[in-house]
Chains A and B, each alone.
Chain A
Amino acid sequence: DTAVSQTPKYLVTQMGNDKSIKCEQNLGHDTMYWYKQDSKKFLKIMFSYNNKELIINETVPNRFSPKSPDKAHLNLHINSLELGDSAVYFCASSQGSDNSDTQYFGPGTRLTVL
């Protein structure tokens, strides 16, 4: 059973297109996240949701919009894709209870914008 799953695993698209990445967790966690990892493996948090409510929105262009239909899902929609959006995007989840929380990561979605 996959704890945190993402689809698709690979996404190749043209500049200017709109695309979505889906994420689901079956761990019963209250908190979900989106991270962006660049080509040098630097990991940057983008968003965090707790019980379907946005609690962190780092400096991210407003072309990126997260949507949480329920506690188990956090989707990422990206409008007007740009070359600089090419990266690996990771969804993660955690209990959201205290600072000994462990993050559980999905397998990643490699986005390539041409």
Chain B
Amino acid sequence: GNSVTQMEGPVTLSEEAFLTINCTYTATGYPSLFWYVQYPGEGLQLLLKATKADDKGSNKGFEATYRKETTSFHLEKGSVQVSDSAVYFCALTAGGSYIPTFGRGTSLIVHP
């Protein structure tokens, strides 16, 4: 079956630090890959996505590259802000299904 593995949190950083949140996956066929973000007290919202190998998704300074050879979709940002504090979920859809499989989420805490 499909699965998504994310690094455990919380990840705690100082403002302007570099961020990486690791995500690896197992899937049949050619999945689409997503990062969703959940700010405190809110629902999840799409941050970025990539639908084929070597595609790079980007939004709000965040980037992730779909790496088929390493089955990874790591999230990066060059300089985090306090307002980036949230829970980040990696997800995939595969096998012609639009029902996503979510990772367990990684909490990011950014200090001033």
Interface of A toward B, CB cutoff 8 Å: 4, 31, 33, 40-43, 45, 48, 56, 90, 92, 94-108
Q: Provide a sorted-by-A list of 23 A–B residue pairs whose CB atoms are within 8 angstroms.
A: A31-B98, A40-B104, A41-B38, A43-B89, A43-B105, A92-B44, A94-B98, A95-B98, A96-B98, A99-B32, A99-B96, A99-B97, A99-B98, A100-B51, A101-B93, A103-B46, A103-B100, A104-B46, A105-B43, A105-B45, A107-B42, A108-B42, A108-B43
Q: How many A-B residue pairs have CB under 8 A?
A: 62
Q: Is B107 an interface residue (CB 8 A)?
A: yes
Contacts of B46 in A (CB 8 A): 102-104
Tell me whether B34 and A102 are in contact (CB under 8 A): yes
For this complex, into which size category does the number of interface residues on chain B fall?
20 to 34
Residues 43-63 of B, flagged 1 when their CB comes within 8 A of A and 0 if not, give 111100101000000000000
Among B46, B102, B107, which residue has the most Cβ atoms of chain A within 10 A?
Answer: B102
Q: Which DSSP category, helix, strand, loop or mixed, fits chain A's interface?
A: loop
Interface of B toward A, CB cutoff 8 Å: 31-32, 34, 36, 38, 41-46, 49, 51, 87, 89, 93-100, 102, 104-105, 107
The chain A residue with its CB closest to the CB of B104 is A42
Minimum C-beta distance from B1 to chain A (A): 13
Minimum C-beta distance from B5 to chain A (A): 13
Contacts of B93 in A (CB 8 A): 99-101
Contacts of A101 in B (CB 8 A): 93, 98
Contacts of B99 in A (CB 8 A): 33, 45, 48, 56
Contacts of A107 in B (CB 8 A): 41-43
Tell me whether B44 and A90 are in contact (CB under 8 A): yes
